[in-house]
Amino acid sequence: MAEPASTPKPTTNDPIAIVCVGMAGSGKTTFMQRINAHLHAQSKPPYVINLDPAVTKVPFQSNIDIRDSVNYQEVMAQYKLGPNGGILTSLNLFATKVDQVVNILEKRTKGKVAPIEHIIVDTPGQIEVFVWSASGDIILGSLASSFRTVIAYIIDTPRSTSTSTFMSNMLYACSILYKTKLPMILVLNKADATDVSFAKEWMTDFEAFQAALREEEEGKGEEGGFATQGSGYMGSLLHSMSLVLDEFYKHLSVVGVSALTGQGVDEFFEAVQEKAVEFEKDYRPELERRKGERDKLKAKIKEKELGKMMADMNVKGGGGRRKKDEAETVSEAEEEDDNSDEDDGSDKDNDMSRRYQQALGEDEMDTSKDMSFVKYLQSSNIG
Ligand SMILES: Nc1nc2c(ncn2[C@@H]2O[C@H](COP(=O)(O)OP(=O)(O)OP(=O)(O)O)[C@@H](O)[C@H]2O)c(=O)[nH]1
């Protein structure tokens, strides 16, 4: 039976882009190396992109490396920037080439010989430089408009065992989700060093988090009883935030992983599949809606500009121009007097109209034909 026209095309074999984001030292690079090795072991080599211009050594082979096109040290010296400014500017320079990168990716992932199933992307540890910059926006937007894209937010679990650091990390994750509007997997890394069950419990059982909070308030918690949350203000702030985050947790997949030992990597890829389906179902329509709105706005602006241009050129011989009889200077007035018998000025307009008609190969110049001229300009990419 033929499928109804509105049925979305199955795109389950489309490649999935996994963008690894995380604070410095959370283990992004080690995690990238792990998932890269895992996919190679399954004979599904991914396409690897490194977007960290400042990294000195990458322990895996990258197919595209920002360092090949931008020299971070030189950028810093040339623009007299500090480390973060250098990373931001390098990303900006890279963002100007993102269309070419996406073209390469599209060709490569659809290759007939060995189609790529995963694109994995490493990002700078300075999360804000990537997530909160225009270039990060452009890079992520371009990826997401071509591929199912998932954010893997890597967390240093051993350093998130106190309620306040855990909460800070969750707020960061929340802000990334809010900013990128892409499905997210929370990767509780370094599971070999710290059991991640406490974090999973805090995310699923509100009471458990409140109990941990109380414990820390009484100075019995982690960090050697350093009861920073003890003050009433901090306690009630954390309490309110945990209420807010409760809703946010529902939108996440959470996996405990050890990038070092490989523990939990299979579970991570199951989460990737889940989130890729979610991308297809919830995020793609939203992205397309936003793209449609942007395109409509662009078309409107273009039409308006063209309308203005047409008025300026006065193609139909009316409006816009200074009245033909109004001379501005004495010499103009004299000239007009001289020409008054043979030329009343409208000939110039008609002449212009004739030329446009000729250019368009049209005989008449009515309003509907003006529209086709606009279309002509649009199709010629003028304006
Ligand atoms: N025990 C343990 N250590 C890990 C794990 N993953 C990473 N590490 C260690 O954590 C440290 C930081 O790891 P990286 O992979 O360099 O972290 P990164 O997030 O890429 O750091 P930046 O490049 O600074 O952003 C290294 O010493 C790693 O060996 C893990 O799963 N378990």
Give a yes or no: residue 307 inside a domain. no
The residue nearest atom 2 of ligand 1, judged by CA position, is 190
Task: Say how many Å lie between the CA of residue 27 and the centre of ligand 1.
Answer: 3
Distance 6 CA to ligand 1 centre (A): 46
Rounded to the nearest angstrom, the distance between the alpha carbon of 20 and the centre of ligand 1 is 13
Percent of the chain with pLDDT over 70: 73
Ligand 1 pocket: which residues have CB below 6 Å? 22, 24-30, 55, 125, 189-190, 192-193, 258-260
Q: pLDDT tens-digit profile of 115-166?
A: 789 999 999 988 888 888 889 989 998 999 889 999 999 999 999 998 888 9
- 271-313 pLDDT per residue, tens: 999 999 989 888 878 777 877 887 888 888 888 888 887 777 7
Instruction: Give domain status of residue 173, yes or no.
Output: yes
Give residue 331 CA to ligand 1 midpoint distance, Å. 81
Query: Does 87 map to a domain?
Result: no
Residue 134 placed within a domain: yes
Closest Cα to atom 21, ligand 1: which residue? Answer: 25
Q: What is the pLDDT of residue 28?
A: 93
pLDDT tens-place string over residues 165-182: 898 899 889 889 888 889
CATH code, 210: 3.40.50.300
Identify which of 29, 36, 38, 123 to mutate to test ligand 1's pocket (most ligand atoms within 8 A of the CB). 29
What's the confidence (pLDDT) of residue 257? 97
pTM for this predicted structure = 0.72
Q: How far apart are CA 28 and CA 25, in angstroms?
A: 7
* pLDDT at 332 (0 to 100): 53
Could you tell me the distance, in angstroms and rounded to a whole number, from the CA of residue 200 to the centre of ligand 1? 21
Q: Based on the structure, what is the number of domains in the chain?
A: 1
Q: How far apart are CA 213 and CA 207, in angstroms?
A: 10
Position 354 in a domain: no
Q: Which domain holds residue 159?
A: 16-44+112-216+236-290
- Which numbered atom of ligand 1 lies nearest the CA of 125? 25
